[in-house]
Amino acid sequence: MGKKKELDALDNQDLITGLVDPRSFSVSNKKNDLFRKKANEKFISANPKGLIDIFGKKHKDFLSGVESLSLSGSPLINPSVHTTDQKEKVAGKTVIGKLKISNTKICYWLDPVIQAKGVILCDLISALRDHPGIINQFFTKTGINRNTILSNLIIAQAKFGSFLYVPENIQLEGVFIIEINIEPIPNSLLLMHLVTLFEKSSAGNLIIDIRSKNYGFSKSFLVIQNDVFLGEKSKLTFLENQKFNNDSALFISEQIWEGKNVILNNCILDQGSAVLDRFLAIETEAEGSEAKITALYNPKNNQRYFYDTQQNHNTSFTISDLLFKGVLGKDTYSIWKGNIFVARETFGANGYQANNILLIDESAKAESIPGLEILSDDVRCSHGVTMGNIDKDQMFYLQCRGINKKDAEKLIVDGFLLSAVKRIVDKDFEKYIKASLDN
């Protein structure tokens, strides 16, 4: 496809203004430039006729009245900016690196002692330009391109992003923070690609914090692809805390690849956004890998949450344990689709998935669709789903002891959600999550 023809194809979309030919912002990384070019060609070939073709029919209500979106321009990059007090502590741990992303700029800081050990924390474009030998081998990994319209769009067009790299045998007790704070702009689209790589026998803690102010009606769109690679015997405690604008849409596609004897403890806290569409895939690719995923969600006031989780046991003797817990308020809706896959000719896979829901208003609606795709005999895989209302006897018991209805309801909701937080091995993270809950 010639350059003029490619540019014309982009210009004729009329759905997203600001799209460019990826070659116009080359990062001097031939392999990645080619990768982005191919993703761009796939996006053009998909030929979406409307925003529904890009974001999906399930979001047609939110998309109503939105005919086109404006893509955010390139951010200003401020490296080595002290975005935090070096003595700052989060979740009981010293902050050893912080990267902050806004609508217009990315700034980051990394503890010089940590940096001297070979750790990298920077924006993604700088990583592609300055560290091609590290990032290229993983950027072309099967699965980074989800082969969806949105994934192709992100890979080809995203100028916002992060890269966190922890070298082999580097074990860190502090915490990395990726702070995404976006001002909602009506009919705007911001594409973001986050990449995290922990090499063999490394260990660390990561918090991704997504939030924005509520400015009223905006209908802005934030689309994030998050790719995490965990090398042999690495350990990661990973918290995602999301409280996005209640008039905006947030799309998150997350894939985590685990090597041999990896230990992952992942906690998700979703409380914001008018529409949340979250895809999560765990890929256990070598024996002995373990993944524990705990998610708490609390939609309110007409919020819509869509979850798709996949636990893929691609090799023998792997463990995945997923628990979602949701409390649904007035006029809310959630759907969770989960699947455990066990590949052929594998042994000893142990997979569990559950979604437990508490409905605190009669107008709330929820769906749960668990699934098992087992292609081997020597496995132990199961799922569980519960859905119910606040127990009237519990309410009566609390109110008889002088607790008003509102406070009694909050006690019950807190107890329901916080019972899952006990799964978090790190007690400081547990306290941080409890403090972050907003009921």
Q: Which residues are paired to 165 by β-bridges?
A: 120, 197
For residue 439, what pLDDT is reported?
Answer: 47
Q: Which of 50, 95, 99 is nearest to 77 (CA)?
A: 99
At residue 402, φ and ψ (nearest 5 deg) are 85, 10
Q: What confidence score (pLDDT) does residue 342 get?
A: 97
| Separation between Cα atoms, residue 374 and residue 390, nearest integer Å | 35
Three-state secondary-structure class, residue 416: helix
* Token pair listed for 401: 């002891």
Rounded distance between C-alpha atoms, residue 98 and residue 371, angstroms? 38
HSE at residue 306, side-chain half, CA atoms within 13 A, is 15
Q: What pLDDT, on a 0 to 100 scale, did the predictor assign at position 414?
A: 84
Domain ranges of the chain: 3-297, 394-439
**How is residue 18 written in tokens?**
């600001």
Is residue 422 classed exposed, middle or buried when 0-12, 13-18 and 19+ CB atoms within 10 A define those classes?
exposed
CA distance 190 to 187: 10
Per the rule left: phi > 0, alpha: psi between -120 and 50, beta: everything else, 288 is left
Q: Report residue 206 CA to chain centroid gap.
A: 12
Helix (H, G, I), strand (E, B) or coil at 349: strand
**pTM assigned to the model:** 0.93
User: Which pLDDT belongs to residue 257?
Assistant: 96
pLDDT (tens, 9 = 90+) of the chain, 439 residues, equals 444 444 444 543 589 999 887 766 677 788 888 888 888 889 989 989 899 999 999 999 999 989 899 999 889 988 875 555 557 899 999 999 999 999 999 999 999 999 999 999 999 999 999 999 898 888 777 778 888 999 999 999 999 999 999 999 999 999 999 999 998 889 999 999 999 999 999 999 999 999 988 766 678 999 999 999 999 999 999 999 999 988 899 999 999 999 999 999 999 999 999 999 999 999 999 999 999 999 999 999 899 999 999 999 999 999 999 999 999 999 999 999 999 999 999 999 999 999 999 999 899 999 999 999 999 989 999 999 999 988 888 878 888 888 888 888 888 888 888 889 888 878 888 889 888 886 4
Q: Of 152, 172, 231, which Cα lies nearest the Cα of 196?
A: 231
Q: Measuring CA to CA, which residue among 239, 248, 88, 226 is closest to residue 182?
A: 248
Distance CA 26, CA 125 (A): 9
